[in-house]
Each structure stands twice: as structure tokens, then as C-alpha cells.
Amino acid sequence: MESVLEQLKSARAAWASLSQATTGVKNLALREMAEGLAAARAEILAANGRDLDEARQAGLTGALLSRLELTDKKIEGMVRGIRDVEALEDPIGRSLSTVTRPNGLQITKMSVPLGVLAVIYESRPNVTSDVAALAVKSGNSIILRGGKESLNSNRAIAGILRKALVKAGLPADCVQLIPTPDREAVQTLLTATDLLDLVIPRGGESLIRTIVENSRVPVIFQYKGVCHTFVDESADLKMALEVVVNAKTSNPAVCNALECLLIHRSAAARILPALAERLKEWGVEVRADGPARSWMPGAVEAKEGDFGREFLDLVLAVKVVDSLEEALAHIQKYGSRHSEAILTNDYANAQVFLKRVDAACVYVNASTRFTDGGEFGFGAEVGISTQKLHARGPMGLAELTTTKYLILGSGQVR
């Protein structure tokens, strides 16, 4: 894929300017990007219409088609998203620490851009502008590789963003879309260790696993979110009902939704019947083990495959455990290291849960649905990482930076 290599080279050349751009210039580019998208609504919708026609001919329906579809409202959301990023603090040029050593050397650890990023994503075309805005704000060039269904939409959006960069005095090649649906293009990205600094895949587990398996370039990812909530013996009934129902139903299609409820045997009789009723009102299908079913009329029998499964739907696995230890062991075995919660009024159990659960986010007495860059106060979310290097949990702009040490001397020798 000669052309992808050329794109990477020009992205790196463009980075020389972008990495040195002031906050003012980057914010100007973001304003131009927002205004450009707002002004080109008709053009974008026309391109999206071509994608939708092709998708319908290919037999796409339902959720897939609606993810692909852009509307006036979605374009407004894209514009607002860029303006939100403009309003965020610049993550670059921040001193993370400064020490003056006994010999007088002053050593400052400074946040700087990473370089060239690639984002590989699936059908939603609004990702194109979301991640381009985050890249520009953090001083990184970006190579966009969207789904083949949304290629016309992405081409239109990327073209507008590139014109906006030029209006702000930055090189267009800071933002580039891979213009073809070839799979080889991805392979070229994943082996371009000298040109590409980071790959961020966004999409289903199989896409992500393929990328992690094949990439020589560092990858930050989450495979999936199989979130548990353990209702301890001492859990408050009302809180348990509200938190569990919220975690399961407020947006079941996302990675921080609850997938499996664990409940202490001593709390089952007190909590499960009322919970079963509430879940039924919300249309949740309960798949429970034997002991839980005796307290949850209408629950179906949980099969082994229901534990550790990311339903992404109004389905909840339920299991009764005899102890905190058993809950911890279950989470260790079936969890995805994403978000895990305990509902308890027992201080010691809360501490043990916080300390021993190995996950990006560990909760006491709250819904796992809060694992989100916006809810954490980051202003924007690049994604969520369930791996442990560089970034873990919700990723904001700071996670798109690296550091360099600046050492100011006056002739020191060693």
C-alpha cells in the first residue's frame, strides 16, 4: 500500500507544524472545522445518502443502518462536539513536574504531542470529526480509517476538516482519511512503526482483537465491558434497586452497562424479589442461577455462557454467592477489567473490594455507568482503555500526550 505509506509520511511532515502550533492557532482551526461542517450540511447529507443507498442495497437494516445515518441533529452534535473540544484546556506544554537537582540542573517533565495517531473505527461517521478534533487539540496528526459503509460520508467530512486546517494556517495533511476500503491499508498502518506512534481501534471485540494481534505499533484498546455489581449482605435495599436498574437499563448498549449481578446469599431473600419486579417493569430478561431463580419469578436458567458475556442488551445474568471471596473470584474469572462495583454498608468489605479487584474502575455504592470521560470531568472522551500501559480507564486529551524532559544547565558535567 504505497499510498498509505505516503499518507503517513505526509502526516508526519505536517506534524512538524502542528506540534509547534500555539493554543490560539489550534483553537482557530477547531472553530474553522466547526463552521465548515455547519456550512456544509447539505453536502454531508448528500454523501451520507449515497452511503445509505448502498447499505440498503447490501441488506443493512435496523441499528446498523441508524448508526450509519446522519441527520441535521447529528451534524449539529458533531459541530457542538468540536466547539466543546475548542473550549477544553490545551493538554500540551504543561509542566508535570520540575526538580532542581543538587548540581543545579533544572529538570522539567513537559507534556508534548505523541506524533501521528491512527484511529480505526466502524460505521458511525460522526467519529470522523470527533477524533479529528481531539487530535488537533492535542497537537497530533491523525490518520482516519472508517468503515467501508460510511466511506462517502467520511470523505465529505474529512475534506471539510482539511480545508478548515488550511484556513487556520495549518497543513491539511494533519488530518487524513484512508480513501479506500482495502484491508491491506490497515495492515500497512499496523506495521508502520517508524511513522505511526499509536493505533486506537474503536468498534466490536473482533475488530479490536484482530488489530491487537497484528499490530507492531502500540495499541490502546478495550476489548469489551463485562461489568459486575456485587450486592453485599449489608447493601441498602433502596440503593440496590436504583443502582442495579440504572446500571442495567439506562443505556444497555454501552460498555459500562451492568451485565452480571452477584448477590450475597444472605441478601437474596431481602432484595431479589423486589429487584425482579423492577427489572420486569423495564423489560429486562433475567438469566439466573438456581438459588437466584427461587427469589426471581420469571427468570430463565442461566447457562455457563451467560457469565462473562457482554449482552449489550436488556439481559442480566444473576448469581448468588456465599461470600465476598466468591464474588471476587467470579469477577477475576469472568470480568473484563473494565468497571466493577460493590454495593455495601460494610467498611471492611468495601476496602477489600477496592483493593483486590483488578479493573480500570472499581466502584463502591454507585452505578458502573459513570465510567466515561465526560462523567469523570475530562470534557471529552477519546475512548476507554482496559489495557494497563499508558492509559487505563476513560481517556481524555491528556492520554493523547507523551512527555519530554527539558534540562536546563549552566555547563554541568558528570
The DSSP symbol for 299 reads P
| Minimal distance, residue 98 CB to a copy of itself, in Å | 12
**Residue numbers 281-300 binding a copy of itself by CB under 8 A:** none
Stretch that binds a copy of itself, among 71-79, 270-278, 314-322, 363-371 (CB under 8 A): 363-371
How many CB atoms lie under 10 A from the CB of residue 58? 10
> What's the CA gap between 398 and 118, in Å, rounded?
17
Q: Does 107 bind a copy of itself (CB under 8 A)?
A: yes
Closest Cα to residue 242, out of 281, 198, 203? 281
How many CB atoms lie under 10 A from the CB of residue 164? 25
Pairing of strands 383-385, 393-395: antiparallel
Instruction: Using the minimum distance from each CB to a copy of itself, give the nearer residue, 156 or 263.
Output: 263
Instruction: Give phi and psi for 100, each to the nearest 5.
Output: -110, 120
User: By rule CB under 8 A, what string of x and - marks binding of each residue 364-383 to a copy of itself?
Assistant: xxxx-xxx---xxx------
Q: Does 211 bind a copy of itself (CB under 8 A)?
A: no
Question: What would the grid cell of residue 30 be?
Answer: 477547531
**Residue numbers 75-94 binding a copy of itself by CB under 8 A:** none
**Residue numbers 3-22 binding a copy of itself by CB under 8 A:** 19-20
| Minimal distance, residue 261 CB to a copy of itself, in Å | 15
The amino acid sitting at 258 is L
Q: Give the residue, chosen from 264, 363, 373, 383, that forms a contact with a copy of itself under the rule CB under 8 A.
A: 363
Instruction: Using the minimum distance from each CB to a copy of itself, give the nearer residue, 64 or 105.
Output: 105
Q: Does 393 bind a copy of itself (CB under 8 A)?
A: yes
Question: Are the CB atoms for 235 and 266 separated by under 8 Å?
Answer: no
User: For residue 17, how far is the Cα from the chain centroid?
Assistant: 28
Q: How many residues bind a copy of itself (CB under 8 A)?
A: 63
H or E element: which one contains 112?
A: strand 106-113
Q: Does 225 bind a copy of itself (CB under 8 A)?
A: no
Q: Give the residue, chosen from 68, 392, 396, 397, that forms a contact with a copy of itself under the rule CB under 8 A.
A: 392
| Minimal distance, residue 355 CB to a copy of itself, in Å | 7
Q: How far is CA 212 from CA 92, 120, 147, 166, 342, in A?
A: 28, 12, 18, 34, 31
Q: Which residues of 78-103 are buried (b: 16+ CB within 10 A; e: fewer)?
A: bbebbbbbbebebbbeeeeeeeeeee
| Chain positions contacting a copy of itself, by CB under 8 A | 19-20, 99, 101, 105, 107, 112, 114-115, 193, 197-198, 212-213, 216, 218, 220, 236, 238-239, 242-243, 246-247, 250, 354-356, 358-367, 369-371, 375-377, 387-390, 392-393, 402-414
